[in-house]
Amino acid sequence: MLIKERKINGVFEIQLKPQKDSRGFFMRVYDEKLFEKYRINKNWVQENHSFSSEKNTIRGMHFQFPPHAEAKLIRVINGAIYDVHIDLRKNSINFGQWDSIQLSRENNKMLFIPRGIAHGFCALTKNCEILYKMDNYYDSDFEGSILWNDQEIGIKWPVDKPILSEKDLNAKSFREFVKKSKGL
C-alpha cells in the first residue's frame, strides 16, 4: 500500500497492491498502523454503498455541516469514476480549490478525504459501485451541496450533459455557500 498526499492538504491517494494468482487476488485495503503514520486513521462508524447504473451520472458536490462533518475513505469496486473534491475549510490555504482523480476497480486506488471537503463523482462506466467509509454519522438536517458546475469553482467534468438528481440541480453556488456560512 502506497500513500501520497494530493494537491489539497489532508487529501490522500492510496494505491492498493493486490497479490494475484490463478485463483484471483488478495488485497489489504486498511492498515491502522500505516494510516496512523499519515494521520488518516479514523474510527469509521458508517459505510455506504453507491450504485450508478448509467455512465455520465454525476453525484455531488455533497458535504455535511459541523458537528456532522465527515471524513471519507472511498473505493470503487466496480467500474470507474472521476472523483472530485472541493476544499470548504475556511482556514485552509486550499479554500475554494478543487482536485480530481480517477478511481476504478482496475487501478486499485482509494481516496481519503478529510472533514470540511465537498465530494462528488461522475460515473465513467455503466454499473459503477462505490464503497465509502465515514467517521461520522450522516444527518440530513446538516447536509449541504455546492452546484456541480459552479463557474467560480470551474470543475472540468468529463461530460457536458450529465444525469443529475433534482437535489444536485438545485444546489447552492459556492458564492452563496460562502456568503451564508463563510466556510466549514
Residues with a catalytic annotation lie at 62, 132
Q: Residues 61, 146: contact at Cβ < 8 Å?
A: yes
User: For residues 146 and 131, what is the distance between their CA atoms, to the nearest angstrom?
Assistant: 22
DSSP string, 70-129: --EEEEEEESEEEEEEEE--TT-TTTT-EEEEEEETTTTEEEEE-TTEEEEEEESSSSEE
Coil vs helix vs strand at 66: coil
User: For residues 38 and 6, what is the distance between their CA atoms, to the nearest angstrom?
Assistant: 12
Distance, CA of 129 to chain centre: 13
